[in-house]
Amino acid sequence: MEERRKSRRMDLEARLIVKRLDSDEKREVIINISDVSRTGVGFSCSDELELQAVYECRLTIWTKEVIHAFLQIVRANMGEVFHYGAVFIGMSEQDASRISVYEKFSEVNQEINQ
């Protein structure tokens, strides 16, 4: 399959909580991140989320800092567990840079360990 991502993806052990923005729905959903880049995130959860919907999120990164951003769901695979792909929208350049720093650190770490 052809790679269409704009940025390299990396695994990150973290969770984020999302809230639906365009409805009165107030529930929060905890999701498990499988990969993240400065442009988007892949994750799974037990709840069904709507394709193209925008959700608010608070992503706790490896430094324990919290990044506040918005996600738009662009891909969904349904099964026992739902797997999603989302792009960040409205993320500040500073927060995107935090993810880029980790990306560079991970690349160097992988080269050392090979």
The reported pLDDT for the residue numbered 19 is: 72
Q: Higher pLDDT residue, 8 or 22?
A: 22
For 52-107, write each residue's pLDDT tens digit. Answer: 988 888 888 777 788 888 899 999 998 889 999 999 998 888 988 888 776 676 66
The reported pLDDT for the residue numbered 110 is: 63
The reported pLDDT for the residue numbered 108 is: 65
Phi and psi torsions of 28, nearest 5°: -110, 145
Q: Higher pLDDT residue, 41 or 9?
A: 41
Q: Round to whole Å and give the CA distance between 100 and 87.
A: 15
Q: Round to whole Å and give the CA distance between 55 and 109.
A: 32
Q: Are 96 and 104 in contact (CB under 8 A)?
A: no
Record the pTM. Answer: 0.73
DSSP 45-108: ESS---TT-EEEEEEE-TTS-EEEEEEEEEEEE-SSSEEEEEEEES--HHHHHHHHHHHHHHHH
